[in-house]
Amino acid sequence: MPLPPHARTSALWDIFCRVIDNHGDLGVCWRLARQLAERGQQVRLWVDDASALDWMAPGARQGRVDSVRVLPWADSLSPGVLAALPLADVWVEAFGCEIAPEFIAAGACLSGARGQNGIENPPPVWINLEYLSAEPWVERMHALPSPVLHGPAAGWTKWFFYPGFTPRTGGLLREPDLPARQAAFDRAAWLRGQGIEWQGEPLVSLFCYEPPALGEWLAQLREAPAPTRLLATAGRASAAVLSSENSLQRPPVKREQLSISYLPYLTQPGYDHLLWSCDLNFVRGEDSLVRALWAGAPFVWHIYPQHDDAHHAKLEAFLRWLEAPASLADFHRVWNGTAPGPLPAPDLPVWRACALAARQRLLAQDDLATQLLRFVAEKR
């Protein structure tokens, strides 16, 4: 659905991000900021730890990305800084982080003042951008209001906005030119650029926490009848593989079928290229799951583990939406430690058909940035 004309006008957005789950929270917020900027919006991204942007989006912290300013979270509490800031049209609290009371108070003062045109500044459209889930309650909660009852912003409204996989949710982040870029991608050239001497063997990417079944899976790859090259991403995934490798006692003569390449930290486009290069992708958290869905290759999701096991129901809801075949669903459960048993053998043709069907369903829906722009235009 195209945006109405008033949704295409420029607005000033404040996006707030606290980095909790390694790089995923910041990755999502940066993608959103970029996509809004590319659609004519001005964005201030307030973040408590922006260091990962140095490799994720080089130049971002230095202000070299048009229409996006990256600002330290601490400045949102500073009276001197706040007094000099124009009031934003939109506030976005990403993943349940809470805007500083000082920032809210400053915004409340500005919203009651009159601008140069003599018209009173309206309060910003205040959005609580939630975590991604396929659970049924997401459709019921999406776009519901939450009245602000206390403090300087009493009487305002905060809106719940849920990303999701169905037309009754807020959708997923997707750049308009993503399919065209993927169609033009040269896999062999990208691998050469990474120093990977690819001989046509199956490629598997690994981006994970510390999955319970990692050791068993690596052993299967070593003893498989055909060779596989594993591309391990920097950070926890590489550390987990190295830990597993160092704990092994190998037979001295047996030839192994597994080759491992340890990658440096990749930019966000570089990570897409990794996913597009591989025949099977292991992903984790939220941001990389969405990118794996757009890649259209077979994938396995390592869901963020929660202490109360709430991630079990979240995983099962996603597998139902995905219409995962039995082998893929069982692999997910063992990989995530939600069910016992050996890892089933991957059935890549069947898994690929599942991934492509899921991508096709998602491509028929409006993306998250488009839906946010429309929602904000309706509320302003």
Nearest to 126 by CA among 157, 154, 147, 101: 157
pLDDT value for 252: 45
Give residue 67's identity as a one-letter amino acid code.
S
Nearest to 17 by CA among 41, 43, 55: 43
Greatest CA separation for the chain: 84
Hey, which residues are catalytic here?
A: 25, 286
Task: Give this prediction's pTM.
Answer: 0.93
Tokens of 103: 């920032």
Please name each of the domains of the chain with its CATH number: 5-171+365-379 (3.40.50), 178-363 (3.40.50)
What is the rounded radius of gyration, in angstroms, for the C-alpha atoms of the chain? 22
pLDDT value for 22: 64
- Kindly provide the residue ranges of all beta strands, DSSP E only, lying in 76-148, ordered along the sequence: 90-94, 125-129, 145-147
User: pLDDT 10s digit of each residue in the chain, 380 long?
Assistant: 555 554 558 999 999 999 986 688 999 999 999 999 999 999 999 999 999 999 999 999 999 999 999 999 999 999 999 999 999 999 999 998 999 999 999 999 998 755 555 567 899 999 999 999 999 999 999 999 999 999 999 999 999 999 999 999 999 999 999 999 999 999 999 999 999 999 999 999 999 999 989 999 999 999 999 999 999 999 999 999 999 887 665 554 455 899 999 999 999 999 999 999 999 999 999 999 999 999 999 999 999 888 888 889 999 999 999 999 999 999 999 999 999 989 999 999 999 999 999 999 999 999 999 999 999 999 98
Helix axes 24-38, 287-295, angle to 10 degrees: 60
Measure Cα distances from 106 to 14, 77, 81, 255 in Å.
13, 10, 10, 66
pLDDT value for 1: 58
247: three-class secondary structure by DSSP: coil
